[in-house]
Amino acid sequence: MLLIIAVGAVSCRKEACENPFFCDWDTPFEVPPFDQIKFEHFKPAYLKGMEEQMAEVDVIINNPEEPTFDNTIRAMQFTGELLTKVQRAMVPLSNANTNDSIQALQREMSPLFSKHRDDIALNEKLFERVKTVYENRDSFDLTPEESKLLEDEYLGFIRSGIGLSPENKDKLRKLNSELLLLSVKFGENLLAETNGFTLVIENEEDLSGLPEGIMAQAADAATAKDMEGKWLFTLHNPSYIPFMTYADNRALREKMFRGYMMRGNNGNERDNNQIVADIIRLRVEKAKLLGYESHADYVLERNMAKEPETVLNFLAQIWEAALPVAKAEAAAQQELIDREGGNFRLEPWDWFYYTEKIRKEKYDLSDEETKPYFSAKNVTDGMFHVAKRLYGLEFAGRNDIPLYHPDVKTFEVTRDKKHVGILMIDYHPRASKRGGAWCSGMRSQRIDENGKFVTPLVSMVTNFTPPSGDTPSLLTPDEASTLFHEFGHALHNLLSNTEYTSGVSRDFVELPSQIMEHWVFEPEVLKVYAKHYQTGEVIPDALIEKIEKAGKFNQGFTTIEYLAASSLDMEYHSLTEPVEINVGEFEKSAMEKYGLIREIIPRYRSTYFSHIIGGYSAGYYSYIWCEQLDADAFKAFKETGDIFNREVADRFEKEILSRKGSKDELEMWVAFRGREPGIEALLENRGLLQQ
């Protein structure tokens, strides 16, 4: 059920001179005026925004005319204008440039937001109007998109608990408020834990094995912390992964590993164990209250998978194919350890290190060999090239648009010289920014109340190695794939062409992102963007061949660590009783159940599994679920002999990208591919088909 929707500029209010949220934004394309917005502007704007939306809802409820699609469903889409306006500015700040004040405000506002949403979702008079429209839907001349929106709105009320007794509605309100506050606290703890661990090296001998660029980066980080002459390593991926991959000092690798995997699990004031246990318990309580067996049943009802059993069977098929490969990879590493005279058993903190040695030995390839050809700028140019070839999009840098942080790069997107949207890219880690990579729509495409086409404002956020001295930001192949991945999400937002803003199922939303990863290492694409940052030399054919041969290397590990996290997610959210769990014991038992080998841990352990605390609860499986779609979708291009085939690209845009939640996802897929999806292309893509 849609409660808060972005629309165009609002009319000026009396407080215009004091608070930017209370007047029109005259910035280019109505980008939030981050240079004018101050922290003290947020709270009064939030409070005013909630007040205004409730007044707008009251107008709909008290309309004396019979409920129709236009005066009820459509009218609902244009409520909450001010509240959305505030969120457009807060979301990038809270995720990528936060501070103690912002975090405190989020904690303060969380119960108010929860109450506000529930006041709308549990409003019986509003629901009666929606229900009347739904029951008389055949009498309205609705477009397919309007029919889908009506169904989503009606079911949204049902799933939000509108049919509960007054007593149970009060229980639901309390659950929603507690869950929201717990999730905010979880995120704060994780950010603090990630920033709180550092490894300071004083003896240069302890840097053995590390590439010069990584050492220089660590030296810069130490200098920035007034530790001149030392080397500083953190748990942020650009620091953590190279250290785990190249550092010869096994004891220090173990220290880094334990710092990483123990985040939120250190028995201190930032411990997340009880928070996770409480969230899982409260989610079960909420699901039971709403009439579902489990939280997973509740979530999956509106996804492509529909029910937990489908997901579990799907994951089991891939697990069965991948586990023998992972075991063989572990055996190969143990063999190398023994061959080198190591008198120890392979442990999780050894995996990256010995995998890199085997890759070097088997393919004569390392990330350090490829990184000079993958500067962040060149990879960005490459993804823009792909978007132009596929969809005719052009990207031009803009320096006149307000930014939420100076590091952000901004581009205007056009097609046939017509404005399409704004894209912001935020590349590098900082203490005020959560880890990982994501894409968000600060403003979604839609048609506003006056029939005007509203263009999207999209933000891509990553945590890549920052520049160091004269060396630009250089990416590993995995990071290049990540950039293309988030760009796929951006394209989904930029190329949306719907009348209303609609949500996309979790197990479909990764299709537009993951399909973009297929172009990253295509030789035809590499020849365009992969150029040595110092010499400008195009990546040589011999190196491209190495990349191709190593493309499916270590897929047993990559698949199993992901599946372990997905299975853990499903185990938590398939619980049917709100029992008090010991998070550590539950995780251990779940991994033993699936037969996870001791040398591998889940990609995300419970106390830092932010995906499932956020919007991917009972949904982390969706990445690999979508891989069966993206692998098959890219196959549609390959089958033509042209990875830039415009007929296929036009069909993908028309049937998938432009529809963005306005149609049933399975119908969208079949309209594009001509048949239902299967698992074969996924297994082939990962090199697991014949295993």
SS (H, E, C) 310-361: HHHHHHHHHHHHHHHHHHHHHHHHHHHHHHCCCCCCCCHHHHHHHHHHHHHH
Residues linked to residue 440 through DSSP beta bridges, in sequence order: 459
- Backbone phi and psi for residue 321, each to the nearest 5 degrees, phi listed first: -80, -35
Q: Check: CB of residue 620 under 8 Å from CB of residue 565.
A: yes
CB atoms within 10 A of CB 292: 18
What b/e readout covers 622-638, taking b as 16+ CB neighbours within 10 angstroms? bbbbbbbbbbbbbebbe
As a whole number of angstroms, the distance between CA 132 and CA 550 comes to 59
The enclosing H or E element of 570 equals helix 555-573
SS (H, E, C) 354-404: HHHHHHHHHHCCCHHHHHHHCEHHHHHHHHHHHHHHHHCEEEEECCCCCCC
- CA 109, distance to chain mean position in Å, is 24
As a whole number of angstroms, the distance between CA 57 and CA 69 comes to 15
Kindly list the distances between the CA atom of residue 99 and the CA atoms of 105, 179, 407, 654, in Å, as whole numbers in the listed order.
10, 22, 17, 41
Amino acid making up residue 471: T
As a whole number of angstroms, the distance between CA 328 and CA 312 comes to 24
Kindly list the distances between the CA atom of residue 471 and the CA atoms of 84, 217, 218, 222, 533, in Å, as whole numbers in the listed order.
40, 10, 14, 17, 8
The DSSP code sequence of 600-651 is ---SS-GGG-HHHHTTTTTTTTHHHHHHHHHHHHHHHHHTTT-TT-HHHHHH
Amino acid making up residue 657: L
Helices (H), 200-272: 212-224, 237-246, 250-261
CB atoms within 10 A of CB 39: 11
Report the SS3 class of residue 164: coil
Amino acid making up residue 51: E
Amino acid making up residue 523: P
Confidence at residue 11, expressed as pLDDT on a 0 to 100 scale = 38
Question: Do strands 418-426 and 457-461 pair parallel, antiparallel, or not at all (unpaired)?
Answer: parallel
Token digits of residue 438: 């994501």
First-last CA distance in the chain: 44
**Positions marked catalytic:** 486
Q: Check: CB of residue 249 under 8 Å from CB of residue 210.
A: no
CB atoms within 10 A of CB 138: 8
The structure tokens 């939280």 sit at: 295
Q: Check: CB of residue 407 under 8 Å from CB of residue 424.
A: no
Confidence at residue 678, expressed as pLDDT on a 0 to 100 scale = 87
Confidence at residue 13, expressed as pLDDT on a 0 to 100 scale = 46
Token digits of residue 31: 């980008």
Q: At what angle do helices 81-96 and 42-61 cross, to 10 degrees?
A: 140
CB atoms within 10 A of CB 222: 20
CB atoms within 10 A of CB 221: 22
Residues linked to residue 410 through DSSP beta bridges, in sequence order: 424
Closest CA to 500 of 150, 84, 45, 62: 150
For the chain, 691 residues long, the average pLDDT of each consecutive 10-residue run is 36 60 95 96 97 98 97 97 95 94 95 96 98 97 96 96 97 96 96 97 97 94 96 96 97 98 98 98 98 98 95 96 97 98 97 97 93 98 98 98 97 98 97 94 92 96 93 95 98 96 90 98 97 97 95 96 98 97 98 97 98 94 96 96 98 97 93 92 87 43
pLDDT tens digits for range 514-559: 999 999 999 999 999 999 999 999 999 999 999 999 999 999 999 9
Confidence at residue 615, expressed as pLDDT on a 0 to 100 scale = 85
As a whole number of angstroms, the distance between CA 620 and CA 617 comes to 7
As a whole number of angstroms, the distance between CA 568 and CA 276 comes to 13
Confidence at residue 14, expressed as pLDDT on a 0 to 100 scale = 45
The structure tokens 């069977």 sit at: 313
Q: At CA 92, angle to CA 494 and CA 463, rounded to 5?
A: 90
- Half-sphere exposure at residue 513, Cβ-oriented, CA atoms within 13 angstroms: 26
As a whole number of angstroms, the distance between CA 563 and CA 603 comes to 8
Contact partners, residue 372, CB within 8 Å, separation at least 6: 474, 532, 533, 534
Confidence at residue 17, expressed as pLDDT on a 0 to 100 scale = 61
Q: Check: CB of residue 11 under 8 Å from CB of residue 21.
A: no
Closest CA to 98 of 110, 86, 108, 90: 90
Token digits of residue 18: 């004091």
Confidence at residue 541, expressed as pLDDT on a 0 to 100 scale = 97
Confidence at residue 690, expressed as pLDDT on a 0 to 100 scale = 60
Report the SS3 class of residue 454: strand
Domains of the chain by range and CATH? 14-121+123-159 (1.20.1050.40), 197-261 (no CATH), 371-501+517-549 (1.10.1370.40)
As a whole number of angstroms, the distance between CA 613 and CA 616 comes to 7
Question: Do strands 438-443 and 446-447 pair parallel, antiparallel, or not at all (unpaired)?
Answer: unpaired
